[in-house]
Amino acid sequence: MSRLARLSPRRTERRLLLVIFAVAVLGFLLTGLGLAERQALPLASAILPALIPPLLLAVLFGGLHLVLRWCRLEAEQLLLPIVALLSTLGLIMIWRLRGESGVYQQVVRGFVPGVVIMAALALRPRWVEQLRRWALPLSLVGLALSLATAFFGVVDETGARLALKLGPLPAFQTSELLKVALIIFLAGYVAREGEKAEGRARPLLGWLRLPSGQYFIPGLVFVGMGTLALVQMSDFGAVLILGLLFVGMLYAGFDTRLFATVAAIGAGLALVVGFVLVFTWHIPTVVQLRFQAFLNPWSEAEMVVDGQPTGVTISEGPGYQIQQALNAAITGGLSGTGLGFGSPEYIPLAHSDFIFAALLEEMGAVVGIAVLGLFAVLLLRLLRLAALLPPAQVFERLLLTGIALHLFTQMFIMVGGTLNLLPLTGVTVPFLSQGGVALMLNLAEVGVALALTRRLEALPA
Amino acid sequence: MDLFSSHTLLFAGKWLFVALIYGALFLVVVAVRREMAGRLPGGQAPASTAVGRLVLQQAGGDPAARPGAVWQLKPDTTLGALPENDVVLADPLVSGRHARLRWDGAGWWLEDLGSTNGTLVNGQRLVPLTAHKIAPGSQLHLGDMVLELQA
């Protein structure tokens, strides 16, 4: 019997991908028709161009589905459809906001390399073991790249130094790379030294136990250097994510008593350092402005930096983008204005940071809630997979925990910022926002999860 | 009002779009639910009263063991030479932490924890660090010792 005939069916995944293909065709068609209707162009001319992006998505994700069937993998049929649906919704919004060139840029720089990496990881799950072996050098390269960006990076039109240009390659943002480097670093370090260091722990106060410094000081140094690079880049969203990843992965990797001790010491130190910074030095200007805008984005009061008025009111300054995002969400209401009928072009950065606001305006809260639901299922699937892996595979379990936290916190911070529930910090929404490197890395992270799924497969008896 | 005007079509399309997205979400929820149902038959909590025992068939190199000895299984049972295991097998060819048996609510899963000499079920070598479903009545070979799973 040929190998093709014995491929695993993956029926749930196939059914879901077919529904998602319908979503893509309908979504792109509606966007094209909506825009044509609005500009009073003949509707028929909008149909053909709208069919190309769904076909591209179908080729990529359908191909990945076939690769997984080729691997005869039967487990975990939800990760791929969830990623495909989020990517589809994001690509529809990018088409709406940036036109065809935006879509092709996203597909060529993000989807194609990302999906190729996913397929390669699914076919060669042993590469994850290579990742463990090379964890330290890889993560140090990531750290070095972001430090290089912070001090020698390309200055973009807004004056921020976020991208690095190496030789003939196009400039790329490195803060995403730093987060992935931290995940790999912590997973590798805890897996290698964890048991030894826990054995050396000393009793501190009753229930609390102090781990030996060797255990957490390298992680602290890594996070410290990364934070330095990001503060230099003024990328405070990334600082927040880096901190959340650090705390989350230590919680997953440490014994509870050790974690409680380290967390208490860390919180105390953070308070002290925070107060010292506030009273002797100054809070970074961006943070001051963001907080004032967060507390009242409509305020006509002047913004204050270090006690000095700046001559610009909050609502004209950083409050403006929050206002526009909230306006978009309110305009959209329950079911949205319809694709192509809103005016998301008034939202600054609608295609990247604020893509969720643009989505709320044109697709409405119903679709927004569905997106949040998809992210919740994604988080649970990844954590469940981490829990199902054998306890001895510390590196793999921590890697998955870090990946789950990375994807979820980005979405959480950005949606919170969009709805003014959190101070605004610019990060991308995984799978939705435009951004080649970020999308590629997020897809690769899901690829790692697929590769590890293969370890759970039982052989046919 | 023209029923087939572009406006009506776009309105219908918008809601069809929402319906399809929720259709996908519904399929996801159904799949998760089916998976959970497979693990927890009849919607009961994971059986803390996992039914199963291991019966020693061949004592191998363990001087203290006698064929016919019985171990009652917990939902998560470890096997190996070290005394901290639930099932201690003092055969020289059994690794310290050799294997692990887990109950998923419906059946038993055996995983070789990367032992030196491997684990065989009914003569078939298990891929290490991977859980394999095993049927009641299976013969487990760890080192020179043979155990039978009885459920």
The residue ranking higher by pLDDT, A235 or A420, is A420
- Name the closest residue on chain B to residue A455, using Cα atoms: B130
Residue B36, burial from CB neighbour count under 10 angstroms (0-12, 13-18, 19+):
exposed
pLDDT score of A162: 67
Taking the CA of residue B6 and the nearest CA in chain A, the distance in Å comes to 8
Among B10, B23, B31, the residue with its CB nearest the CB of A33 is: B10
Q: Are residues A49 and A110 in the same domain?
A: yes
Total number of domains constituting chain A: 2
Contact at CB, A27 and B131, closer than 8 angstroms: no
As a whole number of Å, the CA-based R_g of chain B is 25
Last residue of a domain, one of A257, A281, A305: A281
Does residue A5 sit within a domain?
A: no
Q: Are residues A21 and A145 in the same domain?
A: no
pLDDT at B124 over 60: yes
pLDDT tens-digit profile of A8-28? Answer: 778 888 999 999 999 999 999
| Residues of chain B numbered 39-78 and touching chain A (CB < 8 Å) | none
User: Is B5 at the interface with chain A, CB within 8 A?
Assistant: no
Q: Are residues A75 and A163 in the same domain?
A: no
Does residue A299 sit within a domain?
A: no
Q: Are residues A188 and A94 in the same domain?
A: no
Contact at CB, B18 and A43, closer than 8 angstroms: no
Contact at CB, A23 and B114, closer than 8 angstroms: no
Q: Are residues A48 and A99 in the same domain?
A: yes
Does residue A291 sit within a domain?
A: no
Q: Are residues A232 and A146 in the same domain?
A: yes
Mean pLDDT of chain A: 83
The residue ranking higher by pLDDT, A261 or B121, is B121
Q: pTM for this one? A: 0.78
Q: Which structure tokens are listed for A90?
A: 């994001």
Residues of B in contact with A82 (CB under 8 A): 28
Question: Can you give the residue range of the structural domain that contains A326?
Answer: 11-123+317-457
Query: In angstroms, rounded to a whole number, what is the distance separating the alpha carbons of residues A374 and A83?
Result: 9
Q: Are residues A190 and A261 in the same domain?
A: yes
Q: What is the mean pLDDT of residues A390-405?
A: 88
Q: Are residues A115 and A158 in the same domain?
A: no
Does residue A301 sit within a domain?
A: no
| φ/ψ (deg, to 5) at B67 | -55, 140
Q: Are residues A413 and A331 in the same domain?
A: yes
Residues of B in contact with A11 (CB under 8 A): none
| Residues of chain A numbered 288-347 and touching chain B (CB < 8 Å) | 335-336, 338-339
Query: In angstroms, rounded to a whole number, what is the distance separating the alpha carbons of residues B14 and A338?
Result: 6
Does residue A274 sit within a domain?
A: yes
Last residue of a domain, one of A281, A298, A333: A281
Residue A224, burial from CB neighbour count under 10 angstroms (0-12, 13-18, 19+):
exposed
A190, containing H or E segment: helix A175-199
pLDDT at B46 over 50: no
Among A338, A390, A456, the residue with its CB nearest the CB of B10 is: A338
Taking the CA of residue A376 and the nearest CA in chain B, the distance in Å comes to 12
Query: In angstroms, rounded to a whole number, what is the distance separating the alpha carbons of residues B72 and B87?
Result: 9
Last residue of a domain, one of A281, A308, A335: A281
Beta bridge partners, B109, equal: B102, B133
User: Is B113 at the interface with chain A, CB within 8 A?
Assistant: yes
pLDDT score of A366: 93
Q: Are residues A113 and A141 in the same domain?
A: no
User: Is A456 at the interface with chain B, CB within 8 A?
Assistant: yes
Does residue A439 sit within a domain?
A: yes
Q: Are residues A140 and A257 in the same domain?
A: yes
Does residue A251 sit within a domain?
A: yes
Q: Are residues A269 and A354 in the same domain?
A: no
For chain A, give me the number of helices (H) and strands (E)? Answer: 15, 7
Q: What is the mean pLDDT of residues B121-136?
A: 85
pLDDT tens-digit profile of A306-335? Answer: 777 777 777 777 788 888 889 889 988 888
Residue A404, burial from CB neighbour count under 10 angstroms (0-12, 13-18, 19+):
buried
Contact at CB, B13 and A85, closer than 8 angstroms: no
Does residue A434 sit within a domain?
A: yes
pLDDT at A1 over 50: no
